[in-house]
Chains A and B, each alone.
Chain A
Amino acid sequence: MPTPSLLIVPARFKSGKLYSQIPTSGAGDFTVTRATNATRVNASGLIESVASGIPRLDYFASDGTVGCPALLVEPSGTNFARGVELLNTPTPATASGGITITTGSTDFLAPDGSSGTITKYVGGTASGANFVEYVSSISVSASGVHTFSAFVKTGATNPLTFCALQFALYSAASGTNTSYFNLASGTALTAGATIQNYGNGWYRIISAPYTIAAGDLAGSIRLIFAEANNDVNWPASGALDLTVYAWGIQLDAGSVATSYIPTTTGSVTRNADVVSVTGAVSGSIGQTQGTIYAEVDVRNLFAGSLLVVDDGDTSDFIAIGRLANLTIRAQIRRAGGSTTTIITSSAVALGVHKIALAYTNGDYALYIDGVSAGTSTNSTNYPATSLTQCVLSNTNYVPFNDRILDAALYTTRLSNAELAALTSL
């Protein structure tokens, strides 16, 4: 197996820089820009803020334990849920047997390790629907798909088993407005909804995407005590003493609940991650032939770019990315032409995948997890100008919106046998 001309396993960094292991000259070190803070899961499994310009080495693992660090790259995002915890209007009212709310509870630490920042909800005797609602109408800035998420943890005694997230009072909206979750088993019960285990009993519950219409951008978001899946109708004794805690509510534009964006009195925007290297790295990029490789942790149904080598802008490039249906595709572009998809794989499962594209004009091969995912003999769209930039994430392409464990470039078109070996899990 040839030695890669560029290898990046995200580990060493400083502000504005992510160091590559190969080459050692510094020519392959990535420049990192993000003008805002952002959050990640640190090595202790806690959500923490990362300053602007710092690449995010994220240790999140789906089973609630910390994993190996991976580079988290996301597009810009805005949390429209103003206020850290404002799901504080119970229906029915507490005095009428509705949910009792305790803000600043110290019963448990929050997912960021802080004390006194979580909200405690305890059911009352009221029958029928029991929910807590955002204190006032919550407005988004544009119509389109939105995703509502919250970190929740059940009580040590009288734990609430079922809960739901709901979009309400957005007229003319469409889609699944109520998503149900089983907090005892840690499962999402509604199609399109997801749940993530953050450890210490905390789950991030994520609604199915919901489309808000242009005519009404203001509505409500609700956390519902559910009696069972698709059942919010409590019998006579109500949800008495059943307990759940919440923290970190978030309303994202788009179909993905992005990394947590803390808010105070207004909505808050996190800028996109830009991670790329240009200039001398051209010597590490195969010009007439080569191979690009990445190992990724796919958790979101999202269309985004994974790894690109280009001419410094988007006129000429060779790229691998994924579609929202989790197919992996290889695309090329030659200046003056249009972007051409040369290979599209079958859909992959959520999880870790190793992906490599070997290229030379008229001969392309895409391998995923040790198996060929397609070939192409396209001989008309190969880039015409020098490839001078390697992009892990920038705003010329839609960012990957997930985690990258490592990436590599080779200046030769690896053989199919070498591609199989390189991408074997």
Chain B
Amino acid sequence: MATFRKYEFAVYADFRTIYDAEASPNTCVELGRVNPDNPKAYCVDILWEGEEPSYWVRHQVWPTPCGVHSFLGWDAQYEADYKEFATPQSK
């Protein structure tokens, strides 16, 4: 089961460091500096072929579904995960 997650890094180099060493199969879409509240931050969306590697969790962000980008057919899953993980009080 694939996993769709969104990430934000303080600067682009931080993203390159972790991503270039990543071996888990994925599709990464680099969104760039799209957060108006943090214009230096570098944002990416990743569709992992399996589970998200645990060391990526600290870079997760949860914009309101589905932010500025999604993967085709994954909007509903992201929205469900958003309710589960981003706004746990909604459970």
Known: A36-B73, A52-B73. A267 touches B47 (CB 8 A): no
Known: A141-B32, A142-B30. A269 touches B69 (CB 8 A): yes
Measured CB to CB, the closest approach of chain B to A79, in angstroms, equals: 9
Check B27–A266 contact: CB distance below 8 A: no
Interface size on B, residues (CB 8 A): 20
Tell me the B4-60 residues at the A interface (CB within 8 Å).
27, 29-32, 34, 45, 47, 49
Interface size on A, residues (CB 8 A): 26
Tell me the B38-91 residues at the A interface (CB within 8 Å).
45, 47, 49, 66-75
**CB neighbours of A353 from chain B (8 A):** none
Measured CB to CB, the closest approach of chain A to B15, in angstroms, equals: 13
Measured CB to CB, the closest approach of chain B to A396, in angstroms, equals: 12
* Cβ proximity bits A134-155 to B, threshold 8 Å, 1 near / 0 not: 0000010110000000000000
Cα distance, A263 to B60, chains bound together (Å): 23
Check B47–A35 contact: CB distance below 8 A: yes
**CB neighbours of A51 from chain B (8 A):** 73
**CB neighbours of A141 from chain B (8 A):** 29-32
Q: Judge if A157 is at the interface, Cβ distance under 8 Å.
A: no
Known: A35-B47, A36-B47, A141-B32. A267 touches B73 (CB 8 A): no
Measured CB to CB, the closest approach of chain A to B41, in angstroms, equals: 15
Check A267–B69 contact: CB distance below 8 A: yes
* Cβ proximity bits A187-223 to B, threshold 8 Å, 1 near / 0 not: 0000000000000000000000000000001000000
* Cβ proximity bits A232-275 to B, threshold 8 Å, 1 near / 0 not: 00000000000000000000000000000110111111111000
Measured CB to CB, the closest approach of chain B to A200, in angstroms, equals: 24
Which of A49, A82, A271 touches B47 (beta carbons < 8 Å)?
A271
Which of A78, A217, A262 touches B29 (beta carbons < 8 Å)?
A78
Measured CB to CB, the closest approach of chain A to B46, in angstroms, equals: 11
Measured CB to CB, the closest approach of chain A to B32, in angstroms, equals: 6
Measured CB to CB, the closest approach of chain A to B72, in angstroms, equals: 4
Measured CB to CB, the closest approach of chain B to A264, in angstroms, equals: 7
Cα distance, A139 to B45, chains bound together (Å): 16
Q: Judge if A314 is at the interface, Cβ distance under 8 Å.
A: no
Check A36–B72 contact: CB distance below 8 A: yes
Check B73–A269 contact: CB distance below 8 A: no
Known: A35-B47, A36-B47. A267 touches B68 (CB 8 A): yes
Which residue from chain B places its CB closest to the CB of A52 in the assembled complex?
Answer: B73
Cα distance, A35 to B45, chains bound together (Å): 14
Q: Judge if A372 is at the interface, Cβ distance under 8 Å.
A: no
Which residue from chain B places its CB closest to the CB of A271 in the assembled complex?
Answer: B27
Check B68–A82 contact: CB distance below 8 A: yes
Looking at A36, A38, A76, A262, which has the most chain B CB atoms within 10 Å of its CB? A36
Cα distance, A190 to B57, chains bound together (Å): 49
Measured CB to CB, the closest approach of chain A to B17, in angstroms, equals: 19
**CB neighbours of B47 from chain A (8 A):** 35-36, 269, 271
Check A268–B69 contact: CB distance below 8 A: yes
Which of B29, B31, B67, B72 touches A37 (beta carbons < 8 Å)?
B72
**CB neighbours of A38 from chain B (8 A):** 72
Known: A141-B29, A141-B30, A265-B66. A49 touches B71 (CB 8 A): no
Known: A35-B49, A78-B29. A261 touches B66 (CB 8 A): no
**CB neighbours of A142 from chain B (8 A):** 30, 32
Known: A35-B47, A78-B29, A271-B27. A266 touches B72 (CB 8 A): no
Which residue from chain B places its CB closest to the CB of A38 in the assembled complex?
Answer: B72
**CB neighbours of A52 from chain B (8 A):** 2, 73
**CB neighbours of B27 from chain A (8 A):** 35-36, 76, 269, 271-272
Measured CB to CB, the closest approach of chain A to B7, in angstroms, equals: 15
Measured CB to CB, the closest approach of chain A to B44, in angstroms, equals: 10
Cα distance, A272 to B47, chains bound together (Å): 12
* Cβ proximity bits A37-59 to B, threshold 8 Å, 1 near / 0 not: 11000000000010110000000
Measured CB to CB, the closest approach of chain B to A257, in angstroms, equals: 16
Check A266–B49 contact: CB distance below 8 A: no
**CB neighbours of A139 from chain B (8 A):** 34
Check A270–B72 contact: CB distance below 8 A: yes
**CB neighbours of B32 from chain A (8 A):** 141-142, 217
Knowing that A142-B32, A268-B70 touch, tell me 10 more A-B residue pairs with CB under 8 angstroms: A35-B2, A35-B27, A36-B74, A52-B2, A76-B27, A141-B30, A266-B69, A267-B70, A268-B71, A269-B47
6 interchain pairs (CB within 8 A)?
A: A78-B29, A82-B68, A217-B32, A266-B70, A268-B72, A269-B72
By a beta-carbon cutoff of 8 Å, the part of chain A in contact with chain B is 33, 35-38, 49, 51-52, 76, 78, 82, 139, 141-142, 217, 261-262, 264-272
